[in-house]
Amino acid sequence: EAGVAQSPRYKIIEKRQSVAFWCNPISGHATLYWYQQILGQGPKLLIQFQNNGVVDDSQLPKDRFSAERLKGVDSTLKIQPAKLEDSAVYLCASSLVDEQYFGPGTRLTVT
Amino acid sequence: GESVGLHLPTLSVQEGDNSIINCAYSNSASDYFIWYKQESGKGPQFIIDIRSNMDKRQGQRVTVLLNKTVKHLSLQIAATQPGDSAVYFCAEIKGGKLIFGQGTELSVKP
């Protein structure tokens, strides 16, 4: 079974630029999550989708972060404009019931 | 703030020895707890979970112990191997949300 796919794997941008990350969950998984993992810390949930609807976005900085999952499958996470403190690994995960399966993440460096 | 945390940021063990990674939590209402392993450049990988109504659960070479009296969780890895080198996170499920603590980096010396 193919795992969660993410791209790009690495991205370097300057502050105030925009960036987008893409996630393809495991086939059939209705729930999709985006996490932010700052170096040395555990992942922190940014947003959770159930099919194409948002279940929880309470920790998403909505002034600069946005996410969508238009057809209930793939998802994109966007940051506009980026700040230095956004440097982190952005992880996508999906689940069928409870267990979450994580992708390899996108490492973002903001200079 | 986070309600799950680990005691030590790093742990070094000799190959073949047993490893014990500890975690303290503060929220007694959590539904269950999960241990994840994260290797460099990869996402977290599920190792084992334990429901809040249990005190012990065993898997292949791993055992998780839950002490609700002192709000303490531990992961025991038997006969630690070089492939066990990674960062280990405990996480709790609270209200359907997965909340991670800070990790412990396990290094295995040959």
Cα separation, B64 vs B56, whole angstroms: 6
Cα separation, A94 vs B102, whole angstroms: 22
Cis peptide before A81 (omega within 30 of 0): yes
If pLDDT is split at 50, 70 and 90, which confidence band does B108 have? Answer: very high
Strand residues in B52-110 grouped as ranges (E) = 56-58, 62-67, 72-77, 86-94, 97-100, 104-109
- Is B62 inside any structural domain? yes
- Residue of A4, A45, A97, A102 to mutate when probing chain B, most B C-beta within 10 A: A102
Average pLDDT of the residues in B41-68: 95
> What percent of chain A is predicted at pLDDT more than 70?
99
Residue B1, C-beta contacts closer than 8 angstroms, at least 6 positions apart: none
| Minimum distance, in Å, between the CA of residue A23 and any CA atom of chain B | 13
For residue B1, the model assigns a pLDDT of 40
Range of the domain at B30: 4-95
For residue B75, the model assigns a pLDDT of 97
| Average pLDDT value for chain A | 95
Maximum alpha-carbon separation in chain A: 39
B2 touches A: beta carbon within 8 Å: yes
- Is B49 inside any structural domain? yes
Contact state of B44 with A43 under an 8 Å Cβ cutoff: yes
Which residues of B fall within a CB distance of 8 Å from A98?
A: 93
Considering only alpha carbons, which residue of chain B is nearest residue A98?
Answer: B96
- Is B102 inside any structural domain? no
Compute and round to an integer the Cα radius of gyration of chain A.
Answer: 13
Q: Both tokens of residue A47? A: 């947003």
> Residue B21's domain is classified under what CATH number?
2.60.40.10
Residue B35 · residue B44 · CB < 8 Å? no
For residue A8, the model assigns a pLDDT of 98
If pLDDT is split at 50, 70 and 90, which confidence band does B83 have? Answer: very high
Across the interface, of A4, A45, A93, the residue whose CB is closest to B97 is A45
Average pLDDT of the residues in B49-71: 94
Across the interface, of A40, A45, A105, the residue whose CB is closest to B43 is A105
Superfamily of domain A5-94: Immunoglobulins (2.60.40.10)
Which residues of B fall within a CB distance of 8 Å from A91?
A: 43-44
Per-residue pLDDT tens over the stretch B27-48: 777 878 999 999 999 999 999 9
Could you tell me the residue ranges of all domains in chain A? 5-94
Q: How many domains does chain B contain in total?
A: 1
Average pLDDT of the residues in B4-15: 79
> What percent of chain B is predicted at pLDDT more than 90?
67
| Average pLDDT value for chain B | 90
Position with higher pLDDT, A54 vs B25:
A54
Cα separation, A106 vs A24, whole angstroms: 13
Contact state of B44 with A102 under an 8 Å Cβ cutoff: yes
